[in-house]
């Protein structure tokens, strides 16, 4: 298995660079690859900030990528939960924080917008610090 970086996934998903996109597709489609949670976080940020993807488009693209037979996503259940939360209006990074903290009794933050979004998405144990 080969760990891959953000730029390979972005090239794979967007096809924006003909040569690199083709190389990314060949590598990802032809080898077992591993994407760390931190890479997925960065891919979401790049797709949203540099390519103008909305939350639903990011979720659709990342779910399709994660479903490829050669792809393994670190802590895939947490990433899936975070994508669900992002589609409900929670910032993806914050959604990952919540998903990765699911084993805890609660989640505290000074970020009132995060707490409000988390509660609206069903995380009643989110609270102001």
Does the pTM surpass 0.85? The reply is: yes
Average pLDDT over residues 109-114: 93
40 vs 126: CA distance, rounded Å: 24
**What integer pLDDT is reported at residue 53 of this predicted model?**
95
- For 77-91, b/e burial (b = at least 16 CB within 10 A) is ebbbbbbbbbbeebb
Q: Are 41 and 92 in contact (CB under 8 A)?
A: yes
CA-closest candidate to residue 43, choices 26, 63, 25, 68: 63
**What integer pLDDT is reported at residue 99 of this predicted model?**
93
Q: Is the confidence at residue 80, as pLDDT, over 90? A: yes
Tell me what percent of the residues of the chain surpass a pLDDT of 90.
86
């Amino acid at each position: 298995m080969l760990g891959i970086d953000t730029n390979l996934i972005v090239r794979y998903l967007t096809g924006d660079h003909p040569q690199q996109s083709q190389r990314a597709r060949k590598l990802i489609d032809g080898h077992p690859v591993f994407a760390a949670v931190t890479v997925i976080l960065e891919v979401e940020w790049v797709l949203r900030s540099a390519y103008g993807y909305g939350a639903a488009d990011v979720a659709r693209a990342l779910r399709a990528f994660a479903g490829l037979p050669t792809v393994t996503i670190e802590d895939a259940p947490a990433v899936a939960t975070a994508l669900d939360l992002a589609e409900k209006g929670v910032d993806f990074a914050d959604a990952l924080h919540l998903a990765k903290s699911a084993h805890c009794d609660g989640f505290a933050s000074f970020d009132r917008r995060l707490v409000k979004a988390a509660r609206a998405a069903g995380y009643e144990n989110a609270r102001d610090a």
